[in-house]
Chains A and B, each alone.
Chain A
């Protein structure tokens, strides 16, 4: 059982000269393959705890909506085995946030099952705390009615029906939930959707390190060695004292330089100067970055402003329909020159033959499949790739629509047609594929709340 008093005794209390706290960040994306060598070097540094982030909204609404993980079971198991056995052999806490990609209950349960299986196989015994991050639709609807729910950017106006449509809704927990879990004596904490920072900030907060430094270090190390040059995914050690912290990548060829660390504040952040967390705001605008040597940088100067009222970032995903896709290409100059008219005409024909309820989204790679260019290319491309996405309420409808579209696109006659054998090349058969269920983020909001604890319940078990 993790004894926080003993940890405090080992390190010393604030005010006294105490040795730096050693935080090992093992992974910013657990389940994609933790680089093993750097992690092992990290263990040799005798960290006081090990933290890992396992999830993100980045992979899109599918994972939150479906309850599935983005990472493969085999590699997820490998990574969890590495961090669990590493932490237990050192007898230090292991803290993992945003379990199973999206951090809703099915993701949390899948992750806990893997942890229990590894523990059983390895004969490990520990106290396991799990923290749920699911937020009930009723709580979010009440916040909407009381105007305590604000979108974090441009999204369609939220109605109560949108909230009801979500298959899963999660809130990002902050340090409050992790501190509560640590106080149960847990050795291993597996949490649902979490702020990346909270995973690394809870223990130093409990040990009373200055919160500006705690949060700034947590914000940097949650991405492991991405803050280095060259950036990478190797484990990083954060060494925190009462005046600053030092970043030390466990891969000797990734260097944390003042410039690379300062630049990290830009990464995936709309605001490089402040970061809003449930319990307050981190200000890094006066942060200082100094090289210790060519490999390590010392950071100081960040400030923490506690929130007047706590907030929770809310994420919700709903089923949009079933998806089918068509993959085809063309190298015919007259087809390419007329592509927009042809696609429009073919959709009209397809709808006249099969008038069901479906949507078709077409992307033409070579022209603007990836981004919306402000002007057409100077010369037309030699080849284009056409990806058509069909969304309907059933897989059969989505597939039927795209099948009709495909056949009429293949044989569509248009003025100036040169290649009368067929307009498009299929890379394989069938060229139309079922692509499973499509989801959409309905909620990406911040919710004002009175208190945090009741939203993130903890269960403790002896493994």
Chain B
């Protein structure tokens, strides 16, 4: 199942200029549990998608909103020369092709 078919929201945003946070929100507990169990959403696999060390990636389940939060370091401090996304609002791209 594609993540884009399972999730009702896939959004990214800065949590401060040094940190990127990606929220995956699901419509029902079935798809939420499925995503939570998916190896493709493990820090190890996310590390290959986002080209950064797995130790710097955190996956936080948030059952109150049937959501999974991913927390990553920003590679470039927001708004520094060379940055491509000051708000971090379009860094969900690599997740769009993920299968769960």
Enumerate chain A interface residues (CB-CB to B < 8 A).
57-62, 151-155, 259, 262-263, 265-273, 287, 289, 320-321, 323, 359, 361, 363, 369-374, 389, 391, 438-441, 444
Contacts and interface: CB of A to CB of B under 8 A. Distances in A.
26 contacts: A57-B17, A57-B78, A58-B78, A61-B78, A61-B80, A151-B18, A154-B56, A154-B73, A262-B64, A263-B23, A265-B62, A266-B21, A266-B23, A269-B15, A270-B19, A271-B71, A320-B81, A369-B84, A370-B85, A372-B50, A374-B50, A374-B51, A374-B94, A440-B77, A441-B17, A441-B77
Contacts of B31: none
A273 B61 CA distance: 10
B37 interface: no
B73 A272 contact: no
Q: How large is the interface on B (under 10, 10 to 19, 20 to 34, 35 or more residues)?
A: 35 or more
B62 A266 contact: yes
Contact of B17 (A61, A267, A391, A438): A61
Contacts, number: 128
Given A153-B16, A371-B85, A371-B93, A263 B48 contact: no
Interface of B: 13-19, 21, 23, 25, 48-51, 56, 58, 60, 62, 64-67, 69, 71, 73-75, 77-82, 84-87, 90-91, 93-94
B93 A263 contact: no
A441 B18 CA distance: 9
A300 to B, nearest CB: 13
Contacts of A359: 81-82
Contact of B78 (A271, A321, A441): A441
> Which 10 pairs from chain A and chain B are nearest by CB?
A60-B79, A153-B18, A263-B65, A361-B82, A154-B73, A270-B15, A262-B64, A371-B93, A262-B65, A440-B80
A263 B66 CA distance: 8
A374 B79 contact: no
A149 to B, nearest CB: 14
A257 to B, nearest CB: 11
Contacts of B66: 259
B74 A370 contact: no
B13 A444 contact: no
B13 A268 contact: yes
B73 A438 contact: no
B85 A389 contact: no
Contacts of A391: 81
Given A270-B71, A439-B79, 11 more contacts: A59-B79, A153-B74, A267-B13, A272-B62, A359-B82, A371-B85, A371-B90, A372-B75, A372-B94, A389-B81, A444-B17
A150 B37 CA distance: 34
B16 A444 contact: yes
Contact of A153 (B19, B81, B84): B19
Given A58-B14, A154-B74, A272 B90 contact: no
A82 B91 CA distance: 36
B79 A373 contact: no
A373 B21 CA distance: 17
Contact of A263 (B15, B67, B87): B67
Contacts of B58: 270
B51 to A, nearest CB: 6
A440 B94 contact: no
A352 B13 CA distance: 40
Contacts of A259: 65-66
Contact of A58 (B19, B50, B87): B87
Contacts of B48: 374
Contacts of B84: 363, 369-371
A369 B73 CA distance: 19
B63 to A, nearest CB: 9
Nearest to A439: B79
Given A268-B13, A371-B93, A61 B79 contact: yes
A208 B64 CA distance: 29
Contacts of B69: 266, 270, 272
Most-contacted residue by chain A among B51, B78, B94 (CB, 10 A): B78
